[in-house]
Amino acid sequence: MIASPQSGFIRITGMRFWGKHGALPGERDRTQPIDVDLEITADLSKPSVSDALADAIDYATLFSLCEQIVTQQSFVLLEALARRLAERVCEDPRVMEASVRVRKPRLLDGATPEVELRLRRTLR
């Protein structure tokens, strides 16, 4: 008998959205590209056996959630944006941990700042 995995990773990388985020004058006056990578640790035992989308965390839902936050909210710091993304992803009870990387490719001349934040869902 083969044991079922208890947890695994789901990664969605290379998401690009346009949002109004930043601390410098004028940064939040216009949209800028914001790149997001998401990695979640989740219980994948049920969907890995059932092969049913209803048992899985839907990738399109994760993408839409990230898109909504980046495009419809505004943050001064990338750290705050990353935390909000991680908090919302962790609202799904199947998610044990979320790691979010946020990049602002047009902020510095020749360099791209990136923030990575890891949030573990607390069990009550």
Distance in angstroms (rounded) separating the CA atoms of residues 52 and 11:
19
CB 48 within 8 A of CB 57: no
State which H helix or E strand residue 87 sits in.
Answer: helix 78-89
Least confident residue range of 27-31, 58-62, 73-77, 115-119: 27-31
- Tens digits of residue pLDDT in 36-60: 999 999 989 899 899 999 999 999 9
Say yes or no: domain 8-120 is CATH 3.30.1130.10: yes
Please give the radius of gyration of the chain, using alpha carbons only, rounded to the nearest integer.
16
Q: How is the chain split into domains, by residue range?
A: 8-120
Beta bridge partners of 32: 19
The predicted model scores a pTM of 0.90
Task: Say if residue 2's pLDDT is above 80.
Answer: no
